[in-house]
Amino acid sequence: MNVLFAGGGTGGHLYPALAIARALVAANPDVRPFFVGAERGVERTVLPTTEFQHELLELHPLYRPRIWKNWRTLASAHGAWRRVSTLVDELQPRALVSTGGYAAGVALAVASRRRLPIVIQAPDSFPGITIRYFARRAAQLHLGFPEARALVRVGRDTQVFVDGNPIDPPPPPATRPLRSDTMAAWDFDDAARPVVLVTGGSQGSAAINAAVAAWLDASSADANAPYVIWATGPKTYDLYRDRESARVRVRPYIAPMRDAYGAATIAISRAGAMTTAELCAWGLPAILVPLPTAAADHQTLNARAIAADGAAIMLPQASLDATVLAQAVGSLLGDSTRLDAMRDATLRRARPNAAQDIAAHILAMPCFK
């Protein structure tokens, strides 16, 4: 029972696909996922480490600022079309599951042409151009943000579900480690002291890092300042590793994130779809700093949607500095009533079982009977 998966370019498109694939196999061991990705995407390094068969193709994104480079996009699409068509002939998949990104466009076009059932998972509050175009041809559309529904035109027979974004869910509350244990994992002495988790995504954020460094400098003499767990990103870790102290833990990258989420009181973060889904699942109020160069500014729209629900504060990167950050952190940590309300709001948005729910909907399709 082969299922073709297409989605990648960035982790925000690839990791949801992996989560759905694993949920499908867990629900029905006869399912055999096969991934199609791009040689230049994050899947180049991630897919070889997984249990899934895959093939990487020469694909290029749309070059929006430098449109003269789009000849590469068109040229690579021609060869990719032929290879995906061959894979469909060889695998005879029951369906194509796409999580968007430029790595998915050709596979979606082939599936549409061959009348292969299409399942689309749209992670962001503003769906990308590939998702918006093919949603009308989809058998199922799964939304990570309910706000995205108004922005997508679907076909007459398209089933639309608001399942949330597939993530590695937190343990159930009954089996979740005590906060004192997660604090001990970071070698923090005072279990009652608040913890601020800082993450700029897998590659880090230069803007967030600079503001956090200045904030730490300004508050270094404050005996009541919160603990900080700071993921700088691998490329800038050497710039900040000397900020490690009894109060601050500096890491290039944190994986898995469970001990960090379990210890944190609040987070300072970008507003990618997967990160925000994890923050909500763990009930973490956040200060969201959207990446202003994200495609179609979708991180700003993600942050606005979450902030409008009372689950986060949005700070535009252009206004981010040590003073603004200190005020935002202080306003949250100094108001327990507000923090409790924000935690409740995050949990209302949470969809920790999204991957399992999406898999169940897919397996209910007629093509899997």
- Asked whether residue 231 falls in the same domain as residue 281, the answer is yes
Q: Closest by alpha carbon to 303, among 318, 320, 315, 285?
A: 315
- Asked whether residue 163 falls in the same domain as residue 207, the answer is no
- Residue 4's beta-bridge partner residues? 34, 96
- Asked whether residue 202 falls in the same domain as residue 313, the answer is yes
Biggest alpha carbon distance in the chain? 67
Q: How far apart are the first and last CA of the chain?
A: 11
CA distance 58 to 38: 6
Contact in structure between 142 and 228 (CB atoms under 8 Å):
no
Residue 203 — φ and ψ, nearest 5°?
Answer: -100, 0
Residue 256: asked if its preceding bond is cis (omega within 30°), the reply is: yes
Contact in structure between 199 and 267 (CB atoms under 8 Å):
yes
Residue pLDDT, tens place only, 286-320: 999 999 988 788 999 999 999 999 999 999 999 99
In the chain, % of residues over pLDDT 70: 94
Region for 119 from its dihedrals, namely left if φ exceeds 0, alpha if ψ lies in -120 to 50, beta otherwise: beta
CATH number of the domain that 196 lies in?
Answer: 3.40.50.2000
- Helix 206-218 to helix 322-333 angle (10° resolution) is 70
pLDDT at 39: 76
Angle at 237 between CA 233 and CA 241, to 5 degrees: 135
Radius of gyration of the chain (CA): 21
* pLDDT above 60 for 76: no
Angle at 201 between CA 195 and CA 205, to 5 degrees: 90
Number of domains in the chain: 2
- Asked whether residue 138 falls in the same domain as residue 286, the answer is no
- Residue 34's beta-bridge partner residues? 4, 53
CA distance 55 to 71: 23
Query: For strand 312-314 and strand 53-57, is the pairing parallel, antiparallel, or unpaired?
Result: unpaired
What's this model's pTM, rounded to 2 decimal places?
A: 0.89
- Helix 70-91 to helix 105-113 angle (10° resolution) is 50
Question: Which of 16-25, 78-87, 139-148, 303-312 is predicted with the least confidence, judged by mean pLDDT?
Answer: 78-87
Q: What Cα–Cα distance (Å) separates residue 212 from each residue in 11, 120, 270, 287, 356? A: 24, 37, 13, 12, 37
Q: Closest by alpha carbon to 151, among 274, 160, 12?
A: 160
Helix locations, the chain, DSSP H: 11-27, 43-46, 70-91, 105-113, 129-134, 179-185, 206-218, 237-240, 258-263, 273-281, 298-308, 322-333, 336-349, 354-363
Q: What Cα–Cα distance (Å) separates residue 3 from each residue in 30, 59, 90, 91, 116? A: 10, 21, 12, 8, 11
- Asked whether residue 229 falls in the same domain as residue 249, the answer is yes
Question: Cα 147 to the chain's mean position, in Å?
Answer: 16
- Residue 205's beta-bridge partner residues? none
- Asked whether residue 155 falls in the same domain as residue 200, the answer is no
User: 70: domain range?
Assistant: 2-167+353-368
- How buried is 103 (Cβ within 10 angstroms: 0-12 exposed, 13-18 middle, 19+ buried)? buried
- Asked whether residue 153 falls in the same domain as residue 32, the answer is yes
Q: How many residues are present in the chain?
A: 369
- Asked whether residue 221 falls in the same domain as residue 133, the answer is no
Structure tokens at 127: 């769906």
Task: Kindly state the average pLDDT of the residues 241-253.
Answer: 94
Residue, of 199 and 221, whose pLDDT is higher: 199
Residue pLDDT, tens place only, 154-211: 999 999 999 999 998 898 877 888 888 999 999 999 989 999 999 987 778 999 999 9
Of all helices (H) and strands (E), which one includes residue 140? strand 140-143
- Asked whether residue 14 falls in the same domain as residue 69, the answer is yes
Question: Which of 73-87, 178-192, 263-277 is predicted with the least confidence, judged by mean pLDDT?
Answer: 73-87
- Asked whether residue 207 falls in the same domain as residue 137, the answer is no
- Asked whether residue 336 falls in the same domain as residue 206, the answer is yes
- Asked whether residue 188 falls in the same domain as residue 305, the answer is yes
